[in-house]
Each structure stands twice: as C-alpha cells, then as structure tokens.
Amino acid sequence: MLKVNNIETWYDLIRALHGISFEVKEGTIVALLGSNGAGKTTTLKTIMRLLYDLREEQPEKGTIEFMGVRIDRKDTEEIVRMGISYVPEGREVFPELTVAENILMGAYTRKDRKGVKEDMERLMARFPILAERRNQEAGYLSGGEQQMLAIARALMSRPKLLMLDEPSLGLSPLLTKQIFDIIKELNEKDGVTILLVEQNVNMALKYAHFAYLMENGRIVRADRPEVLREDEDVKEFYLGIATEQSVKGFKRYRRKVRFR
Amino acid sequence: MYGQLIVEGLSIGACYAVFGIAVVIIYKTSEVINFAQGEMAMISTFVAYHILNVYGWPFWYAFIGALFFAVLLGVFIEVCFLRPAKDPTVLGLIVITLGAEMLLMGLASWKWGAEQKDFALPFSFHKTHELFKGVVINDWSIAVFVMAAVLMIFLYIFFRYTKLGVAMRATQQNEHAARIMGIKVERVFSFAWGFSSLIGALAGMFFAARSTLDPAYMMEPFLRAFAAAVLGGLMSIPGVVIGGGILGILENFVGFHWPAWKPIVAFLVIVAVLCIRPSGLFARHYEKKV
Ligand SMILES: Nc1ncnc2c1ncn2[C@@H]1O[C@H](COP(=O)(O)OP(=O)(O)OP(=O)(O)O)[C@@H](O)[C@H]1O
Ligand SMILES: [Mg+2]
C-alpha cells in the first residue's frame, strides 16, 4: 500500500534520513521503532510533505508510493484526500476550538456534508468521552482525551492508512493500553492500515504485524515482532532487558531503568 | 449635554471598532500589526472617489468597486510582500508593513495629489433625528451603527458556523495541525488579508466622509483603531468593539472638557494598557497545554 523507496531528507545541511526504504502492506499494523532522534517523525513528515519550511523540496532523493501512485511531490491536501491521515507527535489539537469543531476540521478536505455528519456521530458513539465534552474547548481536555480527539479527528477524512506518531507519549499504562486497543480495533474492524511510530517498543511489538527499527536515519532491522522480541540487541537496547554473563557463568536478567 | 456626547462618542467609537476589527483579523492570522492598514483603506477610498468623480458613476457602483479593489489589494500585499519573507521575525514583518504603508501613500500622492478632497456618503451629518429630549443622532451615525451591527453578526456566524471560518481560527491556533488536516494555510492567509482590507475600506469611506480625503487622512483613525484593539487585547473581535466604544466616549469627554488633550487620548490609552494590562481589558487567560 505504502512504499517508501530510498528516501533522503535534509534539514539544511544535516541529513536526517540516509536513504530509508520500507513497506506497509494493506490491512496490517506496521511499527517504526527507534530511539530519540532516530528520524521517525521526520519520516512521517516527509511522507505527509509537511517539511514546508525547508528551502529544498523534500525528500531530496527517493520516491514514496501510495497505492501505486507517487506522492512525494504532491500537496498535503491531496495526500489527505488520497487517504493518508496523520496523528502528529504531541497530539496538536486546536486548543480553542471545541471538541466537535476539532473533529470537523479533520473532514476539511471532504465535500459530502451528510457523510461528514454521519461519521461524526459514529465517532462520538465510539469515543463516549469526546461526546460528553462535545462543546468544551479542546485545550482543557486531559492528555489522554486529547490523544483520543487527535485520533478521532484523523479518522474524519476516512483514511485508508493512518499514521500515528507516539500515541502513548505521556499516557499512563492503562490509557496506553486503551489507545492501543482502539488502534487494533480500527485495524481489524474497519480495515484501516496502520503505520505506528513508538518509543514504547514493548507495547508496539505486541500489537504490530511487522516492525522496522531505525537508528540515526537508517533502518537497521526489519522483521516480525516475534523474532525481534527474542533478539538480544533488541532486548538490551529497546526493551531494557540486559543479559549479562555473571562470574558464576549463568545468565541473569536485569531490568534497566530508562530515562526519557 | 452628556447624552449627546455619549451618542456621538459611541458612533465614532463604532467606526474605530470596525476599523479595529480589520487590524485584529490580520493580527490573529499573521501575528503582525499591519501598519499599512490605514493606507490600504485610504487607497480603496480613493478608488471610490475616482469612480465617482472621474467616471461619474453612481455612488453604489463606486462603493462596491472600492470594496472589490480593497480585497484584491489585501491579497496582493499578502502574496507579494509577506509571503516571500521566509521565517520572518516580528520586527521584519512590521518593517514590511511599514514599507507597504509608505509605498501606498506615495502612490496616492502621485496619482491623486496631496491636497484635501471632499468625499461624501449618502448619509448626511445634517439630517438629524431626535432620540430623547435634547439628544440627536445624524444619518452618518445611524449608518455606522447599522454597519457595525451587521458586521458583528456576520462575523459571529462566519467564524462559528462556516467551514472556512472555523478553519481560519484553527490555522491561527495551530498552523502545523491545520496543514495536517489538509487546510491550505497560504490561502487562509490571503483570504484573511483580503477580508481585512475590505472591512478596512468600509470604515475608511466613513472616516473620509467625516473628515476629508487626502493621502494621510487615515493616520489618526488608524492610531485610534489600534488603541481600541489594544484595549480589547488585540485578539478578540467583541473586545475591539467594546474598546472602540470606550475610546470614542472617552475621547469625546476629554475633548469637551480639555479640547487640547483630545488628540493624545488614544496614545495615552495605548501606553496605559501596555503598561498595566498588556493582554487587554477582557483577556481570558488561557494556559497552553503542551
Ligand atoms: N526542524 C529541524 N531542523 C533541524 N534538524 C532537525 C529538525 N527536526 C529534526 N531534526 C533532527 O533530525 C533528526 C531526527 O529527528 P526526528 O524528530 O525525526 O526524530 P524522532 O525519531 O522522531 O525522535 P523522537 O523519538 O525524540 O521523537 C534529529 O537529529 C533532529 O535533531
Ligand atoms: Mg518524533
């Protein structure tokens, strides 16, 4: 469905993406994992063509294909219309618009008023918290509620592919699970393909069908989650489980605390 | 006596308010005080004058023509002067609008000359109606009140219930997110400038009918509308309307008791508000959640 081919993105003189390639197959959940500064957000922004404040056209090299059509030089508006939605890092709701107005903005590229109304009611039924706060300003919602709102808003354009940038950022474990369950349900029930960027590798590997690991603007691993979970490097660097050889020669597992 | 002062203060205040709305709309979208606002209205009013006196067409043709021109002028300035500035600082933007102001003023002096001209609206100052005993209101004031009221209602509906209006507010609150939604942010900016220029031209014609028409006649009304906008916090349309009313009445009272001080009332208001309560009288303190 989405094919990213050897793309390079530059921030002025700094190369943030060193030619990365990956693929998202229709109907799957694909996770894009990596530590801070690996270039995950940059990848999503490049796909959405949101690097508008840069001088050069981005990506400088490589191609991006969505359903067989090249989109790497199309406007964001057209990309949204073609069926890609993006839930940005840190939610980015419109703070002084009401919840309902926020959701309506997600349907900005759509022309069918009746369909928009119906979709809105359907989403309100699906996210009861948002229905309750329908006429409240989005800036006063809690972080978790804002994340739900950002997802609901992104769904209003009826995306075929939904890209989420760290949806679990700053959420409690319980809420994180809730968000992941929503993502799973969207994928299974509504058939939305999902590209998920996460720092919470453990969680992401539980839900994804396929995962890519990024480091310093490159893709370093690509495999199924079952395989990655058992990988020693992944365990040590991403899951925070170090395996050390102790003096007595048996393996000891230690949980490392990771600071973010 | 005071009743008359209040009525007159409110009517000129309503005119400041309308012009202040033009300032606020640009401030909200582009985050810059548009110092060319007055001159944009001035040129548009000159266009009406030109259509009236050179082509000899009826007033309403001139009126519509001027508004049409104002929209094009606003869009033109946004596209040609503001948009090319990449990652501008606030100071840079202010310098750009100041440059546009001088350019427009020079253009008007060259085309129509610097001498004062008469510009009349079909709403006379001499036709008065008695409101209460001893308090009269003239046609010009009635027209200003009607214009301000219609504009307020229109803007309320526009910003609350139309897709474009909500998208304008969305763009102003979070440009990045607006782009993600597929909103063409550049178009929103151009639209805001055209719209603001149109509202400015409306007020400009009323100011010209009240004083005279020359290339510099909008400098004072701009200062006052700016003061009204500062009173209202620069961000809110109801705020600027209330600010306009307060300023109009204040000015009239000061002018009645100490005529020499009248011209600097607006200036004092700006300084006082910026010192004491920079977010305006009616600011709603909004904490941004990151
Ligand atoms: N606007 C920018 N200008 C210059 N460099 C940037 C810009 N945005 C990001 N970078 C750099 O590009 C690299 C990749 O950043 P990116 O935001 O894509 O990382 P990320 O994988 O999303 O990290 P995180 O998990 O912390 O969100 C970083 O080295 C960052 O410093
Ligand atoms: Mg990121």
B221/B16 Cα distance (integer angstroms): 7
Whether A247 shows a pLDDT value over 50: the answer reads: no
**CB of A39 closer than 6 A to ligand 1?**
yes
Using the Cα atoms of residue B57, residue B61, residue B67 and residue B68 in order, give the sign of their dihedral.
negative
B173 contacts A146? CB cut-off 8 A? no
Which parts of B130-182 fold into alpha helices (H)? 139-161, 163-173, 175-180
Confidence (pLDDT) at A55: 56
Distance from CA of A97 to the nearest CA of B (A): 7
**CB of A193 closer than 6 A to ligand 1?**
no
Whether B91 shows a pLDDT value over 70: the answer reads: yes
A144 within some domain: no
Whether A109 shows a pLDDT value over 50: the answer reads: yes
Q: Starting from the CA of residue A43, give the closest ligand.
A: 1
Nearest CA to B288 out of B169, B189, B174 is that of B174
Atom of ligand 1 nearest to the CA of A42: 18
Phi-psi region of A158 (alpha: psi -120 to 50; beta: other; left: phi over 0): left
Name the helix (H) or strand (E) containing B131: strand B128-132
Nearest CA to A200 out of A87, A32, A69 is that of A32
Confidence (pLDDT) at A256: 40
B286 contacts A88? CB cut-off 8 A? no
Whether B107 shows a pLDDT value over 60: the answer reads: yes
A174 within some domain: yes
Confidence (pLDDT) at A242: 56
A101 contacts B286? CB cut-off 8 A? no
User: Rounded to the nearest whole angstrom, what is the distance from the C-alpha of residue B125 to the centroid of ligand 1?
Assistant: 63
Confidence (pLDDT) at B191: 95
Q: Whose CA is nearest to atom 16 of ligand 1?
A: A39
Confidence (pLDDT) at B102: 92
The first and second tokens of residue B69, run together, are: 């021109």
Given a contact cutoff of 8 angstroms between Cβ atoms, the answer to whether B251 and B265 are in contact is yes
- Listed in sequence order, the residues at least 6 apart from B286 whose beta carbon sits closer than 8 Å to its beta carbon are A95, A96, A139
Q: Is ipTM strictly over 0.90?
A: no
Q: What is the mean pLDDT of residues B151-176?
A: 94
Distances (CA, A) of A252 to A47, A228, A234: 43, 20, 17
Confidence (pLDDT) at B41: 95
Q: What is the mean pLDDT of residues A141-159?
A: 94
Whether A183 shows a pLDDT value over 50: the answer reads: yes
Confidence (pLDDT) at A255: 41
**DSSP secondary structure letter of residue A257:** P
Confidence (pLDDT) at B119: 87
Neighbours of A220 (CB within 10 A): 12
A260 within some domain: no
Confidence (pLDDT) at A111: 92
Confidence (pLDDT) at A231: 80
pTM score, whole prediction: 0.87
Burial A70-106 (b: 16+ CB within 10 A, else e): ebbebebbebbebbbbbbbbbbbbbbbbbbbbbbbbb
B4/A30 Cα distance (integer angstroms): 73
- Residues with Cβ–ion distance below 5 A, ligand 2: A 41, 89
Q: Which of A184 and A60 is assigned the larger pLDDT?
A: A184
The first and second tokens of residue B179, run together, are: 């782009």
A103/B239 Cα distance (integer angstroms): 28
Q: What is the mean pLDDT of residues A142-158?
A: 93
Given a contact cutoff of 8 angstroms between Cβ atoms, the answer to whether A196 and A18 are in contact is no
Using the Cα atoms of residue B79, residue B85, residue B86 and residue B89 in order, give the sign of their dihedral.
negative
Q: Whose CA is nearest to atom 12 of ligand 1?
A: A16
Name the average pLDDT for chain A: 87
Confidence (pLDDT) at B62: 92
Q: What is the mean pLDDT of residues A8-14?
A: 86
Please name the residues between 102 and 131 in chain A that touch chain B, using a CB distance below 8 Å: 104-106, 108-109
Beta strands in chain A (DSSP E): 2-11, 14-24, 29-34, 61-66, 69-70, 84-87, 161-165, 193-198, 210-215, 218-223, 241-245, 251-255
B185: closest chain A residue by CA = A77
Question: Given pLDDT bands bounded at 50, 70 and 90, which one contains residue B50?
Answer: very high
A258 within some domain: no
Which one of B180, B185, B188, B287 would you mutate to disrupt binding with A, by most A Cβ within 10 Å of its Cβ? B180
Q: What is the mean pLDDT of residues A228-235?
A: 80
Question: Given pLDDT bands bounded at 50, 70 and 90, which one contains residue B69?
Answer: very high
**DSSP secondary structure letter of residue B79:** I
A80 within some domain: yes
A217 within some domain: yes
A201/A199 Cα distance (integer angstroms): 5
Given a contact cutoff of 8 angstroms between Cβ atoms, the answer to whether A197 and A41 are in contact is yes
**CB of A213 closer than 6 A to ligand 1?**
no
B103/A27 Cα distance (integer angstroms): 58
Whether A21 shows a pLDDT value over 90: the answer reads: yes
Confidence (pLDDT) at B127: 82
Atom of ligand 1 nearest to the CA of A38: 21
- Residue type present at position B22: A
Q: Which of A48, A81, A108 is the closest to B167 by Cβ?
A: A108
Residues in B closer than 8 angstroms to A96, CB to CB, are: 169, 173, 286
Question: Which range of residues forms the domain containing residue A87?
Answer: 2-95+158-251
The domain that holds A186 is classified in CATH as: 3.40.50.300
Q: What is the mean pLDDT of residues B21-44?
A: 92
The first and second tokens of residue B128, run together, are: 């008065």
Q: How many domains are contained in chain A? A: 1
Name the helix (H) or strand (E) containing B132: strand B128-132
A169 within some domain: yes
B289 contacts A95? CB cut-off 8 A? yes
Nearest CA to A105 out of B171, B208, B19 is that of B171
Q: What is the mean pLDDT of residues B74-96?
A: 87
Q: How many beta-carbon pairs under 8 angstroms link A with B?
A: 77
Atom of ligand 1 nearest to the CA of A35: 25
Distances (CA, A) of A17 to A25, A66, A75, A212, A215: 22, 19, 21, 14, 10
Residues in B closer than 8 angstroms to A93, CB to CB, are: 174, 177
Residues in B closer than 8 angstroms to A108, CB to CB, are: 163, 167, 181-183
A35 within some domain: yes
